Structure 1
Amino acid sequence: MQGWIDGFQRSIEYIERNLSETLDIGEIAKTAALSSFYYQRIFGAMCGMTVGEYIRARRMTMAAQELTCSDCKVIDIAAKYGYDSPDSFAKAFQRFHGITPTQARESGANLRSLVPLHIKISLEGGNMLDYKIVEKAPFTVVGVRRRFDCDTSYKEIPVFWDEWMSDTKGLKGMFGICSDMDGKTFDYWIADLYQPWENIPADCEIYQVPGGLWALFRCEGPLPDSMQTVNTQIWSEWLPALQGYTLAGNYSLEFYLPPTKDPADTVSYICIPIKKV
């Protein structure tokens, strides 16, 4: 477990050394020996914010320090931290600090600060997490997909479900699938099992889910709370303690059983592809 934590901490230190440079999520993830897909999932669960949000907050913290302790021009500080113009920098600065860069130089100005993260795992009592490891053959789904930004996907994907399922259009919504993560964006599918003898609904397409080993985590209770709780446990508790296996594939899957009358009886699964080491 310690090696995994050390790798993740190295990624934080890499971000810190390169705040004034162009940061690529693929390079950041590489320092933690993870794919960008899984790095961002783990980062969000462990740190409570996206990688992009963390980088912007650290840059705004450092920018404020430079404004208050140096005579550097605002335009130079803006350029240093990746902003194309003083106006875009000023807007971002005000969103974070609540005041303009000029006001930040006044005596007694109130500024916000996000200190660098330090990753450590502490034992806080045993939390039960039900899961099983199964081997599945490849299977094909049919569904609709949309491209999402990692920074805003938690808010936008539920809207996607609401839009699509308000008019079922031939889909039951058996699966939610994340695929084709390129570092900043990814595809999210609302899908069902593909039956070759049935017509493909309008606006839908097919996608083959690779075969292999999967870790299946059972979620019980109303959605999305039950799934979000288990998701956080997977990335912050289960994965750091995982032995004999490692993450596999650039995708993950949610499986939804048919809805029940009582939301408390809802059962769903989070499915993570893994492989033996």
Structure 2
Amino acid sequence: MLERLNQAMEHVERNLDQEIEVKELARIAFTSEYHFRRLFSALAGIPLSEYVRRRRLTLAGAEVLAGERTLLEIAMRHGYGSGEAFARAFRAVHGVGPGEARRTGAVLNSQPRMSFRLIVEGSSSMRYRVVDKEEFRLVGRKARVPLVHEGMNPAIVEFLRGIPAEVRQRMEALSDQEPEGLLNVSAGLGENREEGTELDYYCGVVTGSEDPEALEGMDELIVPAGRWAVFENSGEFPLALQYLWRDVFTQWFPSNPYRSRPGPEISKVVVSEDGTTADAELWIPVEGTGG
């Protein structure tokens, strides 16, 4: 998988002077467009579109300083329809406009070429199982929150604190199928997973109940039938769960014959009494036979 990803990165490098289609990159990597975007952002730490933009403006910066082409020629060469659009993008990456950079010989930023390699750390294995599940319904309370990759998410903490104990008890009583118990669900998140991206966050349970009294005031999410990879770990809270998600995309997917598919990501976390550690279960929607 990593070899195919690196072939896709070579394609990016050869075609920075023209439009780069994710469909072609996914074809080179033998995977879906959705999974390619998700895997790239997890491995690289930035969205694919941002990497391409930075690489183009790295090359454009060198041309600006060289002084052999006009600024408009450089802008057009790197896909910008006007000098103004090029100047805005250039300043966002380099902290200075192209005209000023050429006049003063400014120090510019550089985005190195990326390639991927597998680094084996430690000897621990990942505990997982694969589950095929029919369509199910999640009910609970929903909030729109920003994505936070590491540490506590203040928006989620505030939202959870605002859920009355009586509502939590009603939700827990409704849980009647796997994944069981009170769940954290992230839905509607874009493929790039950029820090600060907004998503729908649910605190809820999976249920088949139709009791109108028990469901009063609840938000609902219908989850289509599909295959899920279910991972388990224990450790420091909340880092253990965040590191588990990272390891799924940076270690498990490149080493296994599955790929991610669109759908909500579901976690169940049981926190210790002192709030320092937790047992976590993470459900990731996947596709592939595993054969």
Q: TM-score, normalised by structure 2?
A: 0.74
In the alignment, which residue of structure 2 is the partner of 1:231?
A: 245
Q: What is the CA-CA distance between 1:188 and the residue it aligns to?
A: 4.2
What is the RMSD of the two structures over their aligned residues, measured on CA atoms? 3.4
1:132 aligns with 2:128: yes
Contact kept, 8 Å, 2:41 with 2:192, in 1: the verdict is no
What is residue 116 of structure 1 aligned with on the other side? 113
- Is 1:28 aligned to residue 25 of structure 2? yes
Deviations 1:196-236 (A, max 9, x none): 3232536x33212424352323243211x222222222222
Q: 1:161 aligns with which of 156, 159, 174?
A: 156
Give identity over the alignment, percent.
20
Contact 2:143-2:159 within 8 A present in 1 as well:
no
Distance in 2 (alpha carbons) for counterparts of 1:188 and 1:128: 33
Return the alpha-carbon distance in structure 2 between the equivalents of residues 145 and 74 of structure 1.
49
Q: Which structure 2 residues correspond to residues 18-167 of structure 1 after superposition, within 5 A? A: 18-106=15-103, 108-123=105-120, 125-138=121-134, 139-142=136-139, 153-154=147-148, 158=153, 161-162=156-157, 164-167=159-162
Larger Rg: 2
Amino acid at match of 1:263: G
The count of corresponding residues between Structure 1 and Structure 2 is 266
CA shift digits 1:19-44 (9 cap, x unpaired) = 23333434433321222332233222
8 Å contact kept, 2:232–2:282: yes
Residue 167 of structure 1 deviates from its aligned partner by: 2.8
Q: Which residue, 192, 205, 227 being the options, matches 2:220?
A: 205
Q: What is the TM-score with the length of structure 1 in the denominator?
A: 0.78
Q: C-alpha separation between the residues in 2 aligned to 1:17 and 1:208?
A: 40
Amino acid at match of 2:280: S
**Residue matched to 2:236:** 221
8 A Cα contact 2:38 2:192, kept in partner: no
CA distance in 1, matches of 2:261, 2:109: 39
Gap change, CA 1:188 and 1:51, over 3 Å in 2: farther
Structure-2 separation of matches of 1:52 and 1:119: 17
2:55 touches 2:112 (CA, 8 Å); kept in 1?
yes
